[in-house]
Amino acid sequence: MSIEDNHHVEWLAGFMREVSRLVEPMFDEMGSVLPTCWFVTAEGVEHMLFDGNIATKDAFAASLDAFEASLRKYISENDVICYACVTRALMKRVTAKGGGILLVRPPEETIDTLNILAENRQQTISGFRRIIQPAQGERPYLGELEMNDGVFYSRFGNLLCPRAAHQ
């Protein structure tokens, strides 16, 4: 990894930490988060888009399709240089062949998480925060941000970089 690549990863990691902090009030208020993306344009303008249309389980997939289309449209119409997306998912920890940790979908031994993916035109990084379910009657809260060894698949990833760049 070159010094320039290292700089991009460090900057993205800082951006991911910032987004991780920004999502806390939404989680504290709702006990969850809506799929949300933060964008930064070349001019330094920051925008946030979220999917507030997820009302029923049946509408979930169609709503995510529409949200993904709106993200792609926003990126194509603006000079976006980086973004970060936050989504909630049930994940399972599995040790990868190379010794890293991958997060994959259920069925058993799942953990409830907020997944965060950050991408610029050169790099993609990802992490997650566990949703801690305390004793009965207490509100759930977010664990610390944990960085993934690799990049998890997300329908909201690879919006700036070609998919092949991450494989």
Low-confidence ranges of the chain (pLDDT < 50): 1-3, 54-55, 99, 163-167
63 half-sphere exposure, CB direction, 13 A CA radius = 14
* 39 membership: H or E segment, kind and range: strand 36-41
Q: In the structure encoding, which two tokens stand for residue 124, read together?
A: 């993609």
The pLDDT, as a whole number, for residue 138 is: 84
**Do the bridges between strand 124-132 and strand 110-120 make them parallel or antiparallel, or are there none, so unpaired?**
antiparallel
Angle at alpha carbon of residue 10, lines to 4 and 13, rounded to 5°: 140
Q: How do the domains of the chain map onto residue ranges?
A: 3-166
The pLDDT, as a whole number, for residue 52 is: 59
The pLDDT, as a whole number, for residue 30 is: 84
The pLDDT, as a whole number, for residue 61 is: 65
Strand-pairing partners, residue 127, are: 116, 147
The pLDDT, as a whole number, for residue 9 is: 78
pTM above 0.75?
Answer: yes
